[in-house]
Structure 1
């Protein structure tokens, strides 16, 4: 087994190779071996094993990025609008991240002035960009990782994880992963509490269940080990139109619209905290009809608040 600094060198090399490919370079195995002072066999292994999940291919002994993934100037009107929106969406992620993202977008945009404004509250993660970079490679190549993690004011050292996805819910960034103790449960790790990340040589196999799960959830509180249950919610006429415009859950179904303009919807969740914060946000315009125990929890919280 190689030492830690060997993996650090490997990750640095892989990041550099990917950067060259995304910039449209055609790469020679021999030239890369000379540049990084490694054998041609090591570089060939990078392409055939470590970077196999990326859209790259070999053409006349040169490695290239597939068309559609290289950074090129955009020409269509639709692409220009999409890029303008993307440029504004990165504003809230952090100054350094935003600057780098805009520099990157400028390589594929054909104009500088942006007539679009959007504001999304996302936490600043510019101090975690290197960790995210390494996580991306580990996730795509299915490498296990070790890291330190702060959980409820206690430090966990040398936590071994199978990383599945980097996700953002309500502006906060998390790593979804499986740990050694419970291979069925998908755990959530607050990204800013992760440190001292190392990529291991061991790989893991996993199906595509994580994508299927994420398609159905709207909150980090989801629990993949539990069967979803139905929640019925009454919505006042004043905000029915807003819930139609922006559903509170991917599973949302309008069951009825009453004569007074109010409505009843049903959603499916696996944990009560997937819906309780939403109900509180829209009070008094949303009310849980079923199950009653969730409505009781909200009422108890409101009583405690009023007593304070």
Structure 2
């Protein structure tokens, strides 16, 4: 890929990442940031990224349809950006084909993603609070139905497996916490600002785990031969890395810096193909949850 197309791919990657996270883009600011003219940025959004579905698509401001936020993985973004950066070199029939495939890919990904379009105002309150380092207050409904009031320094809105979460520092206990967005209510943004820990922000962005605080340093998981293909084709587990291939065709994976609830539901879903090797008590928790489930069904 030429230097010009590399620069274009980089620019489109940055734009896609921001759109995917729910940011409202200003073409004037983008043009200034990338040192190009406004018409080029508009072409990026209207033509090169024409397969996207928009909530706002004007002469100056662009924002992705709220129902589509978070659908693109990092791999998707990089792949789409690279294609879009070289599409001018392709015949029209190839360009049309690839645009159709990109749009179809997004639609398929969205089948299991929650729709937060009716919570757009609340979503934007949190997003703006994250951008401007403003404290938020809200009620949170836990899985047992109980409710608690929180004051939070919000650091990020993240999407994992189609679900939106708010990550931040609990102002009362000064601990890192993660909240499911749809379980948050009565959200209000405060004028009070906070000094953000940039190292924590970076760690949240780089970590696949949705749970922050009380994390396990390392979890080792054995994958049966029948499921190896799925786990080598893409990363299904958070912070997944290959430890080694086994003689029987199986695989050992390691996940670093994760919470147990990032691991247990996935292992349960893949039974009997996954087994937690260490820590051993985590595998015992999986077995215990299955025993409880079966006992309730008898």
Report whether the alignment pairs 1:22 with 2:26: yes
Matched residue, 2:170: 179
Deviations 1:34-76 (A, max 9, x none): xxxxxxxxxxxxxxxxxxxxx589xxxxxx7765796512299
Matched residue, 1:212: 203
Q: 1:271, CA displacement in angstroms?
A: 2.6
Secondary structure, aligned partner of 1:283: coil
Q: 1:112, CA displacement in angstroms?
A: 9.3
Report whether the alignment pairs 1:147 with 2:138: yes
Q: 1:230, CA displacement in angstroms?
A: 2.1
Matched residue, 1:115: 100
RMSD over aligned CA atoms reads 3.8
Which of 125, 130, 135 matches 2:121? 130
Deviations 1:7-53 (A, max 9, x none): xxxxxxxxxxx97x8154xxxxxxxxxxxxxxxxxxxxxxxxxxxxx
Change (3 A) 1:261 1:211: same
Q: Map 1:227-246; keep pairs closer than 5 Å.
A: 228-246=216-234
Q: 1:245, CA displacement in angstroms?
A: 1.2
Q: Which has the higher helix share?
A: 2
Change (3 A) 1:69 1:212: farther
How many aligned positions are there?
Answer: 232
Report whether the alignment pairs 1:198 with 2:188: yes
Cα distance in 1 between the residues matched to 2:35 and 2:188: 32
Cα distance in 1 between the residues matched to 2:240 and 2:27: 42
Cα distance in 1 between the residues matched to 2:197 and 2:158: 18
Change (3 A) 1:207 1:83: farther
If the length of structure 1 is used for normalisation, what is the TM-score?
0.62
Q: Which has the larger radius of gyration?
A: 1
Which of 168, 172, 183 matches 2:159? 168
Secondary structure, aligned partner of 1:205: coil
Matched residue, 1:97: 66
Unaligned runs of 5+ in 2: 1-22, 55-64, 70-87, 89-94
Change (3 A) 1:280 1:68: farther
Cα distance in 1 between the residues matched to 2:68 and 2:288: 46
Q: 1:206, CA displacement in angstroms?
A: 1.6
Q: Map 1:217-228; keep pairs closer than 5 Å.
A: 217-218=208-209, 220=210, 222-226=211-215, 228=216
Unaligned runs of 5+ in 1: 1-17, 25-54, 58-63, 89-95, 101-109
Secondary structure, aligned partner of 2:225: coil
Change (3 A) 1:246 1:83: farther
Q: 1:166, CA displacement in angstroms?
A: 1.0
Q: 1:122, CA displacement in angstroms?
A: 1.2
Matched residue, 2:16: none
Which of 72, 75, 80 matches 2:42? 72
Q: 1:286, CA displacement in angstroms?
A: 1.2
Q: Map 1:229-308; keep pairs closer than 5 Å.
A: 229-249=217-237, 251-307=239-295, 308=297
